[in-house]
Amino acid sequence: MAISVRELIELHRQNWCETFDSLLTPFFYTLHRVHGNLLGQAMGVMERHGFSPSEFDVLASLRRSPPPHEMTPSQLQQALLITSGGLTKILQQLEGRGLIARSIAPGDRRVKPVHLTEAAFPVVEAAMREMVSQECGRVTTLLTAEEIQRMTEILAKLLVDGEGQEG
């Protein structure tokens, strides 16, 4: 059985007191555990639908882009923060499964945009619906709309690279 966040905090307080902060240590342990729980649930959904997290990220990035749901590999790489070699491997796997296709950009034959195939839509839609239902259901059961909005605003302040939502 996993150790509880309260137990982790207490162990830290008792055994590493020189780094213990009564306000921030509980915050970080709790934030880390929530992230791990949500990520674990999402990975379970992805696995049930036959995707690795990286494959699902590529498909979801393409799906949320405007029609024709197409991006260049460079745009995907920036959106996913992945190496070009890693992206190439993922694109080859998805192309081999018939979920993406590449075309040639007009005006520059070196650029090969990637787009979702018709076969990709039902599988990525089903996986996303399950993930959203599972995650949103849990959050909306435990938190009010106001709490969710306030927590989003607070967490956005912690985005170091300026990605925070504008108030």
Each residue's pLDDT tens digit, 9-65: 999 999 999 999 898 899 999 999 999 988 999 999 999 999 999 999 999 999 999
Closest listed residue to residue 32, CA positions, set 61, 12, 16, 52: 12
Closest listed residue to residue 85, CA positions, set 77, 97, 96: 77
Each residue's pLDDT tens digit, 50-92: 999 999 999 999 999 999 999 999 999 988 878 888 999 999 9
Contacts 24+ apart (CB under 8 A), 81-89: 82/54, 82/57, 86/54, 87/58
Question: Strand locations in the chain, DSSP E?
Answer: 70-71, 100-102, 114-116
Which residues on neighbouring strands pair with residue 116, listed in sequence order? 100
Q: Give the C-alpha separation, 144 to 141, whole Å.
A: 8
Q: If residue 64 lies in a helix (H) or strand (E), which one and from where to where?
A: helix 53-64
Each residue's pLDDT tens digit, 98-123: 999 998 878 887 888 999 999 999 99
In this prediction, residue 161 carries a pLDDT of 58
